[in-house]
Structures are given as C-alpha cells and as structure tokens.
Structure 1
C-alpha cells in the first residue's frame, strides 16, 4: 500500500476528529486571521487565533448547542457571510455530532424558510439583524426552529435576554457552553468519539439554476476523505497562508476548511468581495481559491488601466498579453513532452522584458507571494488561464459538484495543464459514459438528496456511480477536459451540436469589456448572444470616447458601444465553425447579478431565468430572419 493509500484508508471517521488531532498536535500554532472592522471607516485591524484558542470557542459552541438540546444528526443552520465565526460555528456543530445546514446570506426570506423547513433545522446561527429578520418573518411556518443564535447582535430584538428566549447571542451561547462543560467536561470529546462515518454532517442546498434547491446529504466521511485527499495531493503544507473569501455556504468554500484542518497552515478569513484587492497586499497569501469571474474581472481591470494610461501603455499591455499566452502554451507543452518547462531563447527574452514592464506589477497586486490559485465552480476561459500562467499567477483548475463534496479533480502543481481540470483525487473512480457524461464513484459522493428518493435515483446508481450531468473527455494520462453541461448542449435546427460554454469562454478571452455571455441557438438555424458588459470597464471606455457622464444603460445603447463589441464578435467568429458563429447579438441594459436572480451565489449563470427576462431581445434577433 502506498503512502497516499495509507493516508486515505486510515482516515478517521470525521473532520471533528481531525480537528481534535490538529489542536493536540499544534495548539500554539496560528490557525486563523480575521479582520476587526473599524466602524468609523478607517483601516481594519487583523487578529489571530491559535488552534488552541479556536478549540476553546469551538468546544463552547458545541456544548452550548448541547445545552439547547441539540442531539446527533439534528440540523443547525448557518446563514452568514464568510467570517471566522462561520468556521467556528460549523466546527461547533460538527463536534456536537450535529449536522450543518448552509444558507447563503443573499437568500431571500421565502427560500430561507424553505431550506429551514425542508432540513428540519432546530437552530439557526444568523449573522445579523437582517438574517434574523428572515426567520422571524416566517417563524409561524417553522415550528421545529427552536432558537436563533445571532453573531452580531447589534439591533436584534431579544438578543440581550429580554425576549422569550427564541433569540440569543453567540456570546450567550458560548457562555452557556462553558457552564455546560464545567458540569460535563468530557461532553464534546465524547460526542466526537461517538461520530460514525455515515452520520450526516452537512446539508448543502444546490444553488437551484432551475426550480427549488435540493438538499445534498454529505456524511462525516465525505469531509474526512476530502481532507486526507487534499493533503495527499501535496499542493499545500503547514507553511502556507490561505486567503479564504469564498462563500462557506457553497461546497467549494466548505471543502477548503477541511483541507486547512488536516494540513495545519494559516487561513485568513474575510468574505467581503469588495475588499479582495485591498486585502491581498495585507495578507500576502501563498494560496487562494476563486471562481473564474474573479480572474476575468482582474484581467479586465488590468486591461482597462493600461488603456487609460494611453495608447503606448495599452500597446505594451497587448504585446505582453500575447507573450504571456505564447510562453504559457510553449512551456506547458514542453513540460508535457520532455518533462522540462522550457521556451526558445527569443521567447524567453521577450518574456523577461514583459515581466519587468507588466507581469511583476500584477503579481505584486496579488500580494507578491502567491504560488498558486485554484479555480472552480465554473469553466475558466483557457486564454484567461494562459495569460495568468504566463504572468506567473498559476491557476490550477479543479472540478467537482456539491454532490461530490466539491473536489473531485485538480491540476497537479507545476505540471498543470490550462484548459483541463486536472486528474482525479486519490480514491476516486471515474469513467466516461457512451454519451460522454462524466461518472464518478468514491468516498466523496453524497448519500442522496434530502427527502427526495426519486431525484436521488435519477443520478445515483445502486452500485454507487454518480451521474454528474457534465460532458467531458479523459486524456490517456488522466487529465479531464469538461466540454459542457449535458443539459446546456444545444442542437440547432440543422442538427449541429453546439457547446455554449466553449463559445462563451472564447468571447470572454477576446473581449476585455464583457462580463457575462449567453449563447442561444437551440432549435434555431443560427446562434445569437446576449452580452452584459463589465460596468466599470465600459464606463471607463465611455469617458475616453465622448460618452462621459452617461449611465451604463445609455452607454450600451449607443452606436459607438455596439460598433466596439461588433469588432470583438467578428474576431471570435473567425475561430468558430460556421454553425457556432454569433450572427446577431444584443447588449443587455444592465449587468447580470445575484440580486436580480440571474446568477447563483457562486456566480453561475441561470440560463432559463436570463432567457425569460430578456425574451423580447431574443425574439427580436430571430424575428423574420433566416440563416445569415
């Protein structure tokens, strides 16, 4: 048995057990960094928790939940943005033997109530008055919800103990837990020791690109397996500093906490997306996970800044971008063929010059110490990936689903291949079905959908094989390339199949102004596209082109903006087959976002929602038209 096999097969039954082992092993090592927000608007200060200090709070939360009557596998929901208290609360739930139900803070009151009711959650740990208000509004519909614990109790009625006890502060929960431990000092350790592998640990509700979300049942063993599998890959060690800002209600963010515990490095936690650019130089992370939209926005921002610097600077940037992509493609290909990431002398010389002029500044903006980023949740346009690779920001694409505990594939360190999602994690079986669908089997696969046996049977075979719904190809040496979602592949009226995500990715790589793209063409005789532009970038362009002072909607409605984007559409079409080409497009009057319901909280496009909302624009593109 190899060292990797031993590491995985001897895994403990739960992450709670791994947490206790971590605390015992390195109690005085730094575990978390987190910001203390300055109410006056000044710079935030950062504090740290050691593993020993974190365990004190985790044990108090776990014991406090026991004092409230929470028992093994009973659900405790968390509705909060990413912050250190989210992690401590989740670990408290797990160490009590209970199960965490995750809720995005952006979820509306109706869907929050649905998740709380469907999961049968007994306690809700809410971030603030806004999250408490959602539960209070539907309290009559939630008879099983016995208590709401609020992290930031400012302005929350009853959190000071003056109410009926339904609401209490996190501080009060921890005080109760401390008192409980004085009477039952071994209660938490006993609860952790009693956890079994198949015991429910987490209910994560799918984002719901269509219809009501489904609760994915993930047992303790899923997270213990993920922790050990991440450790075995060897991408991280105890000296790393991770910047964690992803939503912890999402499985991608959640799995990062499992890997952190088993490896023991430092994690800086701050979920405020608008603070990413500010935080990076402060945290100076060596590792960060993100979704493709973040890298697209950084790329667009760098391009816009270069454009604003004048024609000469923009020309240098475009040259440096081309060099970065060429350098990345050549070195990655040579590494694959010869085992050495080499490039010809001329290209290496150009790359060295571009590094001094452009790339070094980009790396510095990321904090200067970044070894690697992991990108997941959606496809990263390969040309964006090659750009960052050439710059020295190594983006390791990975792949997984909520139903597979997030991490199923990841690119292997220095030998990563842009455009693929890497190799399967140790312990995972994979096969490609006759129709190209990716099938997975292993310890990370869910138990099923909560209370939905029929839906479970649709995707989970009796022998454990899970239907991902994604189409992909495996190379001879095990690298997986995702083609598209099975349900998103379209067939035009001439019988030609088109993968929208591939076309959309090419457009994002070519056009620095685009934010979101939706390619349409199912049962039509040609393809069209709805395009949303990145507001700061296009407004910057507008100022330089005589449209200053106009709103986003006015700018995108202008003939100048249409002419600008027409040029990029023509460039993309040059590299597409005739039936894939975008024959017509419309610029949307606003960008797509979570607030309008166009995107999931993990920034995935809700195609049916967008198509319904902008149906009139789609109809207009096809009105009375024939094959162009």
Structure 2
C-alpha cells in the first residue's frame, strides 16, 4: 500500500503507524547521530507495544495526558508512539522551561505521568503537581522508574491491538504549547484527524513525497514545536522514512554532511549560519578556488533569475551552468550536507529573500513555508522550480488563505485545532463561526495565490511620521548580512528613526577574533566591546541598510554585552523575540540611542 493510500484509509496515527510497520518492517526507522543501537520499523513496533502495555499497567488510559521532557533521542519516538497507541495524549515540554513554567503546563494538561531524563528530574520535582510516576529513560534516579522497568512490566495480557484500534479521528493526538511572546502558553489541542489531514497535504506536494520516499529525516529541533514533530516524527509514520536524532542542535551544521537528509527543515538562523560559511568560501582570499566558487554561484544566480522570470536560458549560459554544477556546485552542496535534499524547507520565522536566492543559486531548492501550531503544520509553502523569494508560497492541499479587512491573514482547513485547552474565550477569539483561524500575521495573497507575510499584526512599527514598517524585515536584513550577530531587535515605534539592539553569536565572535589573531578570552562582554567586532558589525549594518528603504534604515545599533538564550526573558523557547519585555528591560539602552536626537526629514 502506498503512503497516500494508507493516509486515505487510516483513522488515527496508530493505524497509520501499523500500516507502515507492515510495509517496511526491516527498514531502519530510528538511529542517533552519535551512534548507538539502530532500530528497524519491526523492532520499533515491538518496543512500542511493550511500552504501551507497561504504561497501561501504570494507569495510563484512553484520553489521559502524558508529558515528555526529553532531548532529541529515539526514546522520544518510542514513548510518544506508545502513548498514542493507548488513545492517550502525549505532549512535549521545552527542555529550557523553568520549574514554574513546567508546573503551569502540567496543571493545564492534567497529566499524572512524565517521561524524562536524569538532568530534568530536579526541575520537574520543583514544578510540583500531582504526579503519580516519573519515568527516566537514561540513568536511574531514586524515586523514579526506568524505561526498562516499564517495558518489563508490559509483558502481561494487555490487549494492545484492541487499544490502538479504539483510537478514533476525534481523539486528541497531542498538545502543542505555543510559546507566545506575551502571556502564558496556550495548549493547542490537535486531533488525529487534523494531523492526518496535514500529512495528506504535505505528501500531496511532490518534493516532500519524493524526499520522504528517499527516506532520511532528521529530528533536532524541539519536539515541543509542531514543525519538528511533523518533519521528524509524524512524516516517518506515514512513509517509513528513517529518522536520525541529534541531541544537541548546536552541532547540526557539523553533523549534517554525514547525515545527508532527503527532507530537511531549518529555521532561518540555521540557514544564516550556512550562508555565512558559504560566503566565507566565496571570499576566502583571491586564490583560484575562491574565484571559481564565486563564478559558479554567479552562474547559478543568472540561471535561477531567468527561471524565476520565465525567461529562456541561452545555450551558452546553460553550458556554463552545467560546468559550474559538475565542478563546483554539487561539491558545495555535499560540503554542507544538502546534496541529497529533495525537500529543503525554511519556516518558523521570516527569512531574508537574499538568503533564499543564494541557496537557489547553489542548487538547493530552499522553499519557505508558513504554518502554525493551531493548523497542525498545515499552511502554505513554495514548490521547487516555482520558488518566489519573499513569499511563503501557495496554500497546501485543502487549505484556504484569505486576507481580512484589516490585513490579517485568515486560514481555514481540516488541519485546524480543536481549540485551546481549558480556554474557551481564547478559542473563540482565534476561531470564528465560519471556521477561519485568525493567524495574527499581516500579509497579502497575489493573483497567483502566493502568500506574503509582512509582519505580526501587533508588531508593526509606526514611526513618528506615521509610516508603517516591518521590524522583522529590518532584522532579517541585518542577520543575513552579519553572521556575527545572533539576535537583532529593531526599535522605532513612535520614534523619529530606527535603531536596534543586538547580541553576538558567541561562537562566531570567538572565531572572528581568533582568525585575526586578536587578544581575547572569549568573554562575551569583552567581545561586545571589541573595536574590531564593532567595526565589522557597523560594516554589516551598512550593507543591510543598502537593501532597505531610507525610512527603514538603522541609524544606531547597540551590541549588548550578553547572550539571549531560548526561554529567557528576551526569547521564547523557539527563539522568537519577546518585544514588549525587551523594550521594558532595555529601556535605558534604547533611550540612550535616541538621546538628543533631532527629527530628520520624514
């Protein structure tokens, strides 16, 4: 049975999983990037059955919630899938969460069991709550059960098949806690039917279907994020692809060449890092190799621009491109680990269009997409050969997008959530009576159906002259131009001009000073005050400003002597800016940027 046929007939994710196991029992299903046991789909299925039976003996019943607080590792897939087979609802907790945050999630979810690792046990215990059991998948901790214990208890007379066959389309498959830049996270309730519809929509796209059939996926982003759950977990259930887990996402750029995925999702920050590495190759001295690489990329740009504009490629240019592909471009793709990527996708936040153009020139069909937790990863996406940089493509199968009178994008389709857990008021605010989801994004849809995101509805900058600007567009221009920076926040609401606060990428900053033989012990505060780093950042801002309109250009930028980490006061767990908190916390720095400012011509 083909994966699309299985998706059409499956009533639940467990049924889909079982169909895939029957088709691909001997194919590799799960492995770790750092070695360790490799699980086939058959072995995966056997362990799922034992874990499900063991959890049932611990009291997990149809409809219960079970929390998972794990790094990216095969055990996440085993436990999540086992919980699904019980008709229960697994949900993942961001590993960076503080005890108070964990406690609030548990109170909302109502789970009595959590599956975790030794390193998170103190946080979970500090969170409090009425937990019956804590299961540790690695080292045994006093007062917890081991996963081996759970599996060993799952050898009795439990009717596994009856349990998973009882799971229906309307049962809850997961809770996704939206990180939210303000307020407490909301628990997005996603039913089995919504996730199955989202998988059908994804596999209706030839590049995702072909990449999945080729069979190599990577799980490295947080499993608490719907995008990783989709591309690194559910998609494999539908296609039989293998999943490699990467426990430390910071190593992703280093391990990617060994993994060579066929479907790969990267957040913009990841693509910016790769862009910096590629640009380093292009500008590395004046030797023959760097000149040849620059020529090849320039040739790739010329070809992709003609394809984008619908113009024919002259024979001479086609020949040069064939040479560039054979001699340089395919080797560059192999060096960064994307030579076999049939589907390369960027999402979660807007990306600079010039970054997309660079990867298109390299022969990587980087397709920007747009979706939400509330839509179970169903939304819009560009297609290879039809990529329009600056847009998030066209709606997926069965997904509708339209623009409200105030410019907000509305989304409707079978992938939408049931609602926010325990919050009818917020649910009613997000979903209207006709089934449209208010996305909170401002954008437009052109005559060809391509969707463009301009900004978040509440994040627009309106300067002192009443001109509207997208802070995300300004920030992405700077990030794309400056690999030294990790975060940038544009300031300018009700102000005469735009300024910015920025933080350094510690690894990039240390590499910068070391490569130039500069003194420094790597202390981030000293690096932020380095005249050489300041000069490099200023040059990057100048390049970024050249790509912005005059009113958007950054007049002053301050490098803060700190690092913003996910789940901090400044960033959500998915590294989105908490703008309101940043402007409050750094009010003094911001005022200094505007001190004694005169109003320029608007």
Same fold per superposition (TM over 0.5): yes
2:127 is equivalent to residue 138 of structure 1:
yes
Conserved 8 A contact 1:101-1:121: no
2:578 is equivalent to residue 606 of structure 1:
yes
2:226 is equivalent to residue 236 of structure 1:
no
In structure 2, relative to structure 1, the CA distance for the partners of 1:376 and 1:408 (3 Å cut) is: same
CA deviation string 1:466-524 (max 9, x = no partner) = 00001122222222121111111121121110011112222223334332221111111
Q: 2:21 aligns with which of 20, 23, 31?
A: 23
Tell me the residue number matched to 1:295. Answer: 271
Tell me the residue number matched to 1:72. Answer: 62
CA shift for structure 1 position 603 = 2.4
In structure 2, relative to structure 1, the CA distance for the partners of 1:610 and 1:328 (3 Å cut) is: farther
- In structure 2, distance between residues paired with 1:222 and 1:617: 45
CA shift for structure 1 position 151 = 0.7
In structure 2, relative to structure 1, the CA distance for the partners of 1:327 and 1:603 (3 Å cut) is: farther
Q: 2:224 aligns with which of 243, 249, 265?
A: 249
Tell me the residue number matched to 2:104. Answer: 114
Tell me the residue number matched to 1:162. Answer: none
Tell me the residue number matched to 1:41. Answer: none
- In structure 1, distance between residues paired with 2:333 and 2:462: 41
Q: 1:553 aligns with which of 509, 516, 525?
A: 525
Tell me the residue number matched to 2:382. Answer: 411
Tell me the residue number matched to 2:139. Answer: 153
- In structure 2, distance between residues paired with 1:402 and 1:528: 32
Tell me the residue number matched to 1:176. Answer: 153
CA shift for structure 1 position 250 = 0.7
- In structure 2, distance between residues paired with 1:117 and 1:254: 23
Tell me the residue number matched to 1:522. Answer: 493
Conserved 8 A contact 1:231-1:263: no
- In structure 1, distance between residues paired with 2:513 and 2:25: 55
2:223 is equivalent to residue 286 of structure 1:
no
In structure 2, relative to structure 1, the CA distance for the partners of 1:266 and 1:544 (3 Å cut) is: closer
CA deviation string 1:176-202 (max 9, x = no partner) = 1222xxx23xx2221222222222221
CA shift for structure 1 position 136 = 1.9
In structure 2, relative to structure 1, the CA distance for the partners of 1:65 and 1:511 (3 Å cut) is: same
Q: Secondary structure at the match of 1:403?
A: helix
CA shift for structure 1 position 570 = 2.7
Q: Greater CA deviation, 279-288 or 490-499? A: 279-288
* CA-based RMSD: 2.7
Structure 1 residues 437-586: aligned runs within 5 Å: 437-545=408-516, 547-549=518-520, 551=522, 552-586=524-558
- In structure 1, distance between residues paired with 2:45 and 2:6: 24
2:351 is equivalent to residue 380 of structure 1:
yes
Q: 1:49 aligns with which of 29, 32, 39?
A: 39
CA deviation string 1:240-284 (max 9, x = no partner) = 212222221111011122222112222222232233244323323
Q: Secondary structure at the match of 2:439?
A: strand
In structure 2, relative to structure 1, the CA distance for the partners of 1:343 and 1:627 (3 Å cut) is: farther
In structure 2, relative to structure 1, the CA distance for the partners of 1:503 and 1:452 (3 Å cut) is: same
Conserved 8 A contact 2:6-2:19: no
- In structure 1, distance between residues paired with 2:580 and 2:292: 41
Normalising by structure 2, we get a TM-score of 0.92
In structure 2, relative to structure 1, the CA distance for the partners of 1:347 and 1:588 (3 Å cut) is: farther
- In structure 2, distance between residues paired with 1:548 and 1:421: 44
Tell me the residue number matched to 1:163. Answer: none
In structure 2, relative to structure 1, the CA distance for the partners of 1:555 and 1:282 (3 Å cut) is: closer
CA shift for structure 1 position 314 = 6.5
CA shift for structure 1 position 347 = 7.9
In structure 2, relative to structure 1, the CA distance for the partners of 1:4 and 1:106 (3 Å cut) is: closer
CA shift for structure 1 position 398 = 1.3
CA shift for structure 1 position 354 = 8.1
2:186 is equivalent to residue 219 of structure 1:
no
- In structure 2, distance between residues paired with 1:250 and 1:225: 18
Task: Return 5+ residue gaps in structure 1 as ranges.
Answer: 36-43, 159-166
- In structure 1, distance between residues paired with 2:304 and 2:564: 31
CA deviation string 1:317-372 (max 9, x = no partner) = 666655554443333333xxx6x7x4673486278448735662343331642333
CA shift for structure 1 position 400 = 0.6
Conserved 8 A contact 1:291-1:377: yes
In structure 2, relative to structure 1, the CA distance for the partners of 1:312 and 1:608 (3 Å cut) is: farther
Conserved 8 A contact 2:115-2:134: yes
Q: Secondary structure at the match of 2:508?
A: helix
Tell me the residue number matched to 1:587. Answer: 559
Q: 2:165 aligns with which of 180, 187, 193?
A: 193
Q: Secondary structure at the match of 2:544?
A: helix
Q: 1:328 aligns with which of 304, 308, 324?
A: 304
Q: Greater CA deviation, 251-260 or 345-354? A: 345-354
Conserved 8 A contact 2:253-2:274: no
Q: Secondary structure at the match of 1:532?
A: strand
Conserved 8 A contact 2:281-2:293: no
Tell me the residue number matched to 1:39. Answer: none
In structure 2, relative to structure 1, the CA distance for the partners of 1:454 and 1:174 (3 Å cut) is: same
Q: 1:205 aligns with which of 173, 177, 198?
A: 177
In structure 2, relative to structure 1, the CA distance for the partners of 1:440 and 1:210 (3 Å cut) is: same
Q: Greater CA deviation, 482-491 or 564-573? A: 564-573
In structure 2, relative to structure 1, the CA distance for the partners of 1:344 and 1:380 (3 Å cut) is: farther
Q: 2:74 aligns with which of 80, 84, 89?
A: 84
In structure 2, relative to structure 1, the CA distance for the partners of 1:564 and 1:355 (3 Å cut) is: farther
Q: How many residues are aligned here?
A: 594
2:600 is equivalent to residue 620 of structure 1:
no
Conserved 8 A contact 1:75-1:120: yes
